[in-house]
């Protein structure tokens, strides 16, 4: 059953009692909250996700709630509760939904060490995955949202999950986080997309989230990575795709990994195999239509030959 198939009364009941058990990729999150801005935005952006058949188990139990005391009334805040612990300082109440998204990312990045995890967006077309690692402000999420809005499959906006055994990408599609000017740009570029409310004055500026395509929310098929592309938005630049040295790409992927060192030899070998079986590029752009055209050409080209041995 999808979340959108539950009545509003049932959704509010589940959120306020045992929690809503949502399947996101291979993981189940139990999400509790009585905060309307959390419940309403989850309904809007996670409506196409599957509600777990059983409420006996979740990988992560999280709750968004207000702290007690006078602050609740004079300076409302929100807390992220993870398995009965509070790992972060409170944020202003208006930032409750972004805090849920950031908290869910934190849960995965800090606990799912059966996979190699890289800070990166991941999209797929024609059965070929593209990993898009980049620092904040590079235009990664804007490019990811534009591709997803034009038919590319979303595997993740933030976390590339790679199985060390087979080297494939594991889908973890969740709403795409957009910041500042990119919010209005994407609302104009994709007028039919579903967006959550814009939250101002967060540590990242103004933040809003865009829903993944309904089909992507429940597509569990793993994907073979074919390319690693480092995007960079440069005002007034032409769209340019240039080869990136493999040795440096290995270093960059390692530096963007959350758990490469924790996994030790297995982590290094997974990264080395990824470099051996993909091609790496730098990508500079300013116009989304030009960027999409180049990615369409890339997805139509032959996959990278697999390394021998």
- 189: helix, coil or strand? helix
Q: Tell me: pLDDT of 304 over 70.
A: no
**Residue 95 burial (C-beta neighbours within 10 Å; 0-12, 13-18, 19+):** buried
Which residues have CB under 8 Å from 272's CB, separation 6+? 250
- 129 touches 155 (CB < 8 A): yes
Please choose, from the candidates 179, 175, 177, the residue with its C-alpha nearest in 3D space to the C-alpha of residue 205: 179
Give CA separation, 17 vs 50, 63, 231, in Å. Answer: 19, 11, 43
Lowest mean pLDDT among 52-61, 100-109, 223-232, 271-280: 52-61
Mean pLDDT of 234-243: 95
Average confidence score pLDDT of the chain: 94
Lowest mean pLDDT among 58-62, 123-127, 204-208, 304-308: 304-308
Q: Tell me: pLDDT of 306 over 70.
A: no
Residue 308 has what pLDDT? 42
How is residue 36 written in tokens?
């309307």
- 260 touches 251 (CB < 8 A): no
Q: Tell me: pLDDT of 307 over 80.
A: no
**pLDDT tier for residue 48 given thresholds of 50, 70 and 90:** very high
**Residue 110 burial (C-beta neighbours within 10 Å; 0-12, 13-18, 19+):** middle
pLDDT digits (tens, 9 = 90+) for 163-213: 999 999 999 999 999 999 999 999 999 999 999 999 999 999 999 999 999
Residue 295 has what pLDDT? 96
- Whether the pTM exceeds 0.75: the reply is yes
**Residue 52 burial (C-beta neighbours within 10 Å; 0-12, 13-18, 19+):** middle
pLDDT digits (tens, 9 = 90+) for 69-100: 767 777 899 999 999 999 999 999 999 999 99
What is the Cα–Cα distance from 123 to 173, expressed in whole angstroms?
A: 10
Q: Tell me: pLDDT of 282 over 60.
A: yes
């Amino acid at each position: 059953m999808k979340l959108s198939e539950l009545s509003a009364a049932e959704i509010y009941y589940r959120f306020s009692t045992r929690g809503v058990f949502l399947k996101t990729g291979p993981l189940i999150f139990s999400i509790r909250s009585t905060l309307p801005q959390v419940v309403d935005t989850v309904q809007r952006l996670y409506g196409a996700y599957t509600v777990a058949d059983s409420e006996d188990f979740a990988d992560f139990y999280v709750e968004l709630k207000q702290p007690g005391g006078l602050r609740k009334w004079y300076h409302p805040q929100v807390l992220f509760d993870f398995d009965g612990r509070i790992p972060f300082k409170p944020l202003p109440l208006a930032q409750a939904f972004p805090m849920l998204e950031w908290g869910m990312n934190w849960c995965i990045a800090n606990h799912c060490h059966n996979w190699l995890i890289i800070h990166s967006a991941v999209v797929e077309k024609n059965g070929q995955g593209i990993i898009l690692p980049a620092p904040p402000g590079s235009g990664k999420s804007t490019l990811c949202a534009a591709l997803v809005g034009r038919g590319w499959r979303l595997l993740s906006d933030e976390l590339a999950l790679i199985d060390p055994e087979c080297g494939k990408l594991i889908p973890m599609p969740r709403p795409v986080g957009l910041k500042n000017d990119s919010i209005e740009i994407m609302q104009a570029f994709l007028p039919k997309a579903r967006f959550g409310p814009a939250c101002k004055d967060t540590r990242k500026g103004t933040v809003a989230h865009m829903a993944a395509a309904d089909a992507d929310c429940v597509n569990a098929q793993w994907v073979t990575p074919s390319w690693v592309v480092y995007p960079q938005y440069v005002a007034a630049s032409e769209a340019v795709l240039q080869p990136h040295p493999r040795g440096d790409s290995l270093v960059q992927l390692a530096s963007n990994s959350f758990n490469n060192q924790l996994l030790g030899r297995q982590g290094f070998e997974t990264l080395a195999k990824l470099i051996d079986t993909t091609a790496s590029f730098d990508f500079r752009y300013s116009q989304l239509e030009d960027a999409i055209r180049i990615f369409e050409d890339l997805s139509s080209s032959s996959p990278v030959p697999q390394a021998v041995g």
